[in-house]
A = this chain, B = another copy of it.
Amino acid sequence: MRESSRSMVERLSSYRSVLCKLKTLGFVKVFSDNLGDALGISASQVRKDFSQFELKGNKKGGYQVDELIERLNEILGKNEVQDIIIVGCGKIGTALMNYNRFTSEGIRVVAGFDTDPTVIRPDARIPVLDLSELESFVERHGIRIAIMTVPEPPAPQVYERLVNAGIEGILNFTPMQLRSSGSCLIQNVNIEREIENLFYFINLQNRE
């Protein structure tokens, strides 16, 4: 995943989120200047992004809010619910299984997986299944994306199983730094590392 295309998708998501808020405020049209201001970028960057996806406005009248949202939904795959699974139902995994913001963003957690018999709940609204059922579940439901929230020791094995099961994208919360391969994209989220970064840069500023 190239950093530049990643930032572009992030901008598209931000446009969409700002536009949805403007729509609830009654906006019918919007100008590249408005969106630039909201995102803290230049209006010409907005126009450049939009022209790349053939999102058309007109010079005087700006862009139609509804049309932009509709087209951004298409580009970002927001027109269909996106099913994901969570592997590792500890504290973070369990919190994410019931995360309100997934619902509002069209993301649906369809199952959790764990090896601890005391957390297995096949009959729950979002079932927690034994890890042994991973491969068959992924195949049966055509799951493409998994969140990995297992502890560090089993992480390498779980990663291999996910890739072999056909998972194409992993959001990795484990401390193991994974790298995207040809068949599987990785996004690492390392919360303790983020905090470490903040402390490092704050200390640096205070020394300067």
Q: B84 and A10: CB pair below 8 A?
A: no
* CB-contacts of A62-96 with B (<8 A): 75-78, 82, 84, 91-92, 94-96
Number of copies of this protein chain within its complex? 2
Chain B minimum-CB-distance residue to A77: B199
Give the dominant DSSP class at A's interface: helix
Among A130-165, those with CB < 8 Å from B are 144-145, 147
- Asked whether A201 lies within 8 Å of B189 as measured between CB atoms, the reply is no
Known: A76-B199, A91-B96, A185-B198. 7 other contacts (CB 8 A): A39-B177, A82-B199, A91-B95, A101-B191, A105-B192, A187-B197, A187-B198
Binding site for B on A (CB under 8 A): 1, 3, 5-6, 9-10, 13-14, 17, 39-40, 75-78, 82, 84, 91-92, 94-96, 98-99, 101-102, 105, 107, 144-145, 147, 168-171, 175, 177, 179, 185, 187, 189, 191-203, 205
